[in-house]
Amino acid sequence: MDPLSLVVAFLLSLVVPVIVIAIRQTVKLHRGEVIQDLAAVFHSAKEPESERLIPSFEFVKFKYFVPTGPERGQRQDFQVWAWGVAVFPFFLVVSSTSYICIEFFQDPAFAGTLFGEHAPVTLCMIAVSAAFCGGYLNSIRALTQSIQNFDLSPSLIVALATEIFAAVVLAAIFAYAVHAIYGASGLPKGVGVPQVVAVLAFAIGFFPDAAQRTLVGRSKLKNFKRENLLVYKYTLATPVELIDGIDTEIRNRLSDFHIETTQNLATANPLMLFVETPFGVYQIMDWVAQAQLCASVGAEAMTSMWRLGVRTLFDLERAALDERCRHPELLQSIGRHLLGQKDDKSDFSPEAITANIQMRLDDPHVHRLRQIYMQVGERIGERHWRFLTRDDGIGPRSYDATGIVFQTPNRICLANSRIDIRPNDYLAVVGGKNNGKLLKVGGVDRTLVTVDKDVIDENVGPNAGSVRLFRINP
């Protein structure tokens, strides 16, 4: 036995998984500290625990074994013995296979002493070595991704050992079959058998699932459900580079977390991405909101609506449901992008466009992102809330204009002084004689507000209809 071969086999089979498990523990501690800091933003001690519950954030804490509350307890991490049991089969498969492959390349006669002097032994050893190299590299890639995603588990290590073993056996069978069909002289057109076998065996090890699908798909065995290859022409994926702010370098970074298409990004947990990536939480929230628009309307409609000021799905929501942004011409332009142009060139009804947009908004991933937006808005302050008040009472309040007097030329008398209006704010008037006006506040003296534009005299009484004021921040 060559001591150097034993040392290399030991390093490949035991040291690598131990290092990966140690790095996982370091990542767990570091990201746990980030989660604790993030909790200070989303949780306030003044609020009851039931009102501070944010499912997206609770999932993040649950994944990293962070306490989620006294009544919900804490998820426990894997025990040390579980890691030891999982590493053993990986050590057994990798150490034995790597030692045999190293000895074979040092002395090709070594294979003969183990398996006998048969003609296909050398070709099979070439295939086994190539398949082992491909399988081991695939395992290193999977372990690295599992650290990034923090989904490394004992079962994954056992699965990787199984994949390496299956790849080695499949490659040996493949090499034996090639030798039986073509012999050692060569393939048609003068291509050497060992070279072809080595390349294909490496592919079997590096892409084990693809190799198995190809084997089943090309076989003539009955009762196997095969894939309809015609379906793939309908499954074109939209890359995340379409999202404003994501380039190829960022895409490569996101691919470590299995995010390569806009649909993957649209369904991602923004808080989880913030904890696991170096990108800012506001930046990620914007990316996810853009991706949700793309996943809902398609890449072509999304890019065509950019010039309308619609970048995210929430912009679409505001254009249809927010009285501060709703306008018939804007709604018609959006409707043409969403529903297409009618043959008779007539307009779509506003109700149809609004119903179509509401249908796109009723999605759990959209509701989750909206909750995060609102929670961040509460921390920033009411003056910067983005969404209108919903049935749950969360969102910026519009002011009922009952009791407010509009006085020519540029004054508004408020009913009370408790309305939070400050100089340089913008007030949007909805309803009444001044409907549609956007007024900039010049000064505030208790209940008297001076604006930059002329207003029409109007005393908004209790029966004057629906007249509301919306404050828009500069």
Per-residue pLDDT tens listing for the chain (474 residues): 667 778 888 888 888 899 999 999 999 888 888 888 887 766 654 555 545 567 777 778 778 877 765 555 567 888 889 999 999 999 999 998 988 888 877 776 665 555 555 557 778 888 888 999 999 999 999 998 888 888 889 999 999 999 999 889 888 888 888 877 776 555 455 456 777 888 888 988 888 776 666 665 666 555 566 677 777 777 788 899 999 999 988 998 898 888 989 999 999 999 899 888 889 888 999 999 999 999 999 899 999 999 988 999 988 888 887 766 778 888 888 888 888 775 556 678 888 888 888 888 888 888 888 888 877 766 665 555 555 544 444 444 556 666 788 888 888 888 765 566 778 777 778 777 888 788 888 888 878 889 888 888 888 766 555 677 777 654
- Please, which residues bridge with residue 426 across strands? 440, 472
Does 345 lie in the same domain as 434? Answer: no
pLDDT of residue 336: 87
Instruction: Give dist(CA 42, CA 37) in Å, integer.
Output: 9
Asked if residue 138 belongs to a domain, the reply is yes
pLDDT of residue 90: 93
pLDDT of residue 293: 94
Asked if residue 260 belongs to a domain, the reply is yes
Asked if residue 228 belongs to a domain, the reply is no
Does 345 lie in the same domain as 303? Answer: yes
Does 321 lie in the same domain as 208? Answer: no
The two three-digit tokens of residue 366, written as one number = 């959209």
Does 418 lie in the same domain as 307? Answer: no
Asked if residue 275 belongs to a domain, the reply is yes
Asked if residue 374 belongs to a domain, the reply is no
Does 251 lie in the same domain as 194? Answer: no
Domain residues for the domain of 11 are: 3-218
- Please, which residues bridge with residue 449 across strands? 412, 444
Does 131 lie in the same domain as 12? Answer: yes
Instruction: Give dist(CA 279, CA 250) in Å, integer.
Output: 10
Does 120 lie in the same domain as 71? Answer: yes
- Residue 427 parent element (H or E): strand 426-430
Closest C-alpha to 293, from 303, 284, 283: 303
pLDDT of residue 221: 57
**Structural domain tally of the chain?**
3
Does 78 lie in the same domain as 21? Answer: yes
Amino acid at 43: H
Asked if residue 125 belongs to a domain, the reply is yes
Asked if residue 231 belongs to a domain, the reply is no
CB 380 within 8 A of CB 387: no
pLDDT of residue 389: 47
Domain boundary among 188, 218, 248: 218
Does 58 lie in the same domain as 196? Answer: yes
Does 424 lie in the same domain as 354? Answer: no
Does 358 lie in the same domain as 299? Answer: yes
Does 69 lie in the same domain as 198? Answer: yes
Asked if residue 225 belongs to a domain, the reply is no
